[in-house]
Amino acid sequence: MTPALPLYLAVSGILFAIGLAGVLLRRSPLTILLSLEIMLNSVNLTLVAFSRQVGGSDGQVFALVVIGIAAAEVVIGLGLVIAMTRRQMVLDTDELRTLSG
């Protein structure tokens, strides 16, 4: 017996919420980026699950695009972390509030 679609969607929803909690709770930009990866991957799982349900490969192409965008986002994020480290800034998102008005 194969697991039904709602099971996959529930797993993906729980993963999304865990990633969201990580983004909200953690203060290290590195851990926030890791939590963002969890959120993106949970959405990928949803796309793949619906792609299987519908029987077309469109959702999988979409998930592939999401993987590419996630790679770009990680490059930018890690570049910012490296720039912050080189400027001897504290790696704490609560301390980095120069732009928060």
Segment 58-87, which members bind another protein (CB under 8 A)? 58, 60-61, 63-65, 67-76, 78-83, 85-87
53 CB-near residues (< 8 Å, 6+ apart) = 5
Using the rule CB under 8 A, is 96 a contact of another protein?
no
For another protein, the closer of residues 72 and 101 by Cβ is 72
Residues 49/12, Cβ–Cβ less than 8 Å = yes
For another protein, the closer of residues 20 and 101 by Cβ is 20
33 CB-near residues (< 8 Å, 6+ apart) = 74, 77, 78, 81
- Could you give the CA distance from residue 30 to residue 28 in angstroms, rounded to a whole number? 5
Binding mask 13-52 for another protein (x = CB under 8 A): xxxxxxxxxx-xxxxx-xx-xxx-xx--x--xx--xx-xx
CB of 42 to another protein, least distance (A): 8
